[in-house]
Structure 1
Amino acid sequence: MDQKTYDAQVDGRSGELIEAISSQPVQSMWSVQAPLQAGVATDDMVIDAVRRNLYEPTVGFYKERTGGPFQILRAMLLISRWESRLPGDVIERVHRFMTRSMLERGNTENHWLMFYAGNLLAAERWSDEPTLWNGRSPASMEAEATRWISGMIDRTAVNGHHEYDSTGYHIEHMMPLIGVYEHTRNDALREKVEKVLTLLVADMALEYFYGSWAGGHSREGYRENTWTRVGPIRPLQYLYFGGERFNPDYHLQQHFATPSIVAAYRPPAMFAEIAWDRSHPHVVRKTKAPRTIYRHTDDPTRPVRKYTYMTRSFAIGTSQIGLTGTGAGPIDLVSCDLHWKGANHQAKVTCNHPFTNPSRFSAFLPGLPQNAGRAVGADKPYLQRPDRLFGASLFERMMQHESTVLIGYRIPEDDACP
């Protein structure tokens, strides 16, 4: 398939997704971009979405002066694409948010990328302001954001994607990168962003299995990891790979991807062919960077090594996680995964030891081990349930050759989930 034909097909699938989103009530500043693209958005619709979603409450501060990575990114993606269409009140609200609020960076890789992508676009948009929200000049913020985004791209290219192949978080890296690609004034950075987007779409295509993402995953949780079609990555899987009839129940259960759906970015056409090519069984090998930490461990975490065997009727994959101790993350991954062609949510087996440890939760988050478990459980209770089917256990060993997998466990008797 040539690129022109592929781009036209993606345009058609984008139209299907936009029409479906536009037919539903506007949920957020993400989803309001669909009716804007379709030409059916009203000023009241946009104003209401911004009023409800621009700010994030922070204890001890006035609500309409605080926010984090998600608020920053969705605000600047809206302004960058639709400023000429937005009511003046919306533009002023976002301007005040990016120049006078108290904003925080977050605590994981996807948070940092969203934070810096949004701040880069804000620094470029309001370059004539004396200072932005942090008291620094737009030029200073632009330089810092460019350095961070470029550095994350370098690490991804050399070491692999830290939050690798995540059905939930892959898109949280792709969307800010697509936003930078579409809107930055920095041509050199745009060229670099396009290259890393190619890597990320390649990751999606290599283990695409009839609408699912086969193989091991980092950060796949929310008690959905026994489902075959899962995570907010699904709209982009359908958008870029197609190959099946549009079904909102499969392809559009979340609207987080809307800014990427309306974007003009198109990956190379060959990835759609790779995603659907099952003419011969083949092995996919990937080496991914560990989420290196500096708390609760004396040794560096080793790289993650994935092995996935793809066939026409099934896909099976395992992962060597390379953990060095109880405190070495991550906390919510799938290390072994078997998919086969079958009914949705009825054609997958996963096998993991659901390991938990207080130091694991505080490896990346700011809480102390004494209370990190309770704090995380309050926000994400599924991480504390003993019947969850993900874990990243250091008591788990796997070996695989094509369709044969051996999994061994040596779990201590005093483990919380033996």
Structure 2
Amino acid sequence: MAEKSGPPIILDHNLWGNFTHHYGSDLDHHDVPDGPDRIYMDYNATTPVDPEVIGVVTDALTDAWGNPSSNYLPGLKARDIIYHSRDTIARMVGGKAADIIFTSGGTEVTARVEVEDVIAAIRPTTCLVSIMLANNETGIIMPIKDICQRVKDVNKQRAASAPRILLHTDAAQAIGKIRVDAHELGVDYITIVGHKFYGPRIGALFVNDPGTTTPVYPLLFGGGQERNFRPGTENTAMIAGLGKAAELVSLNLAEYEAHFLDIRCYLEQKLLAVFGKDKIHFNSHFSGSDILPNTCNFSILGRGLQGRRVLSTCRRLLASVGAACHSDRGDQPSHILLSCGIPYDVATNALRISVGRSTSREDVDIVVEDLRDTVEQLERMN
């Protein structure tokens, strides 16, 4: 399930002014300046919709409003848009159009992981292994390819009567940041979530040869759309937007990845320069583990510097302490960080900064200055 952290089993800151004009500027429950003064660095939670994506969504709403199952012109246009998007999304993950099933989002498709732990957890009745490709809190990239190879070895050794173990990965956080190829990874299923890579809030499921090589069954029954896998008239406009977002990823991934890495490394260098190595702890740095190029999870050490308290005091930075779906846990530290061996008091102070395509070094300078001022203020209060 997308955005569920744990063991296996947006506003762009340039748009902040428009947002606060409509909704007010008290989202963090304290007085903050509105307009472009607020700098958004929570792109792992959600991203703004790319202007090119907005364009194709608008065109589809205007010209392709017909039922894709019909034979009149607006319906035929809708059908063509859906097929083109299906093909584009499939190519983004190394598949073919028939492998893509559209969904309402990532959650509809059902921690740091060690390969040996996964293999040890397999039982004679195990039929599915599901692991996120990259953790949304730490950015750690899971060894999916190695896990898939080991699971396939287990499948070869199983008795004929035992179920074949299928492999699913939730790539919500990875797509648009690193290369994701279903066949290179060796997975049977991939969850795709549009609003994580500048697309609309719609999702898709990659299935390797659905219904033939790989089983897939509908959750609902009805009109027979999506080859009987998901009934209901297709959401043409959002599908068009998802297809355009996928096209942009396929065309520009190397550029995106290089930019993310440059900004994240600059951020880490700036944090160390301003706070010193004794006051900054990077919670994603583990020997032998790769992390997403855009994600920095760190703690500013010291009493009274809990992550939520720091963020609620910052005047410029918009970020989070971890997964949005765990926002009701108060100052309790992330169980993901604790399971990675981060001490309790360090994990309590954790902040997650995730940068986007428009994040600049100047933004980083402003954000780190804001953090420095905030920490000085809180330490005076303490």
TM-score (norm. length: structure 2): 0.31
Higher RCO by CA contacts (8 Å cutoff, separation 6 or greater): 2
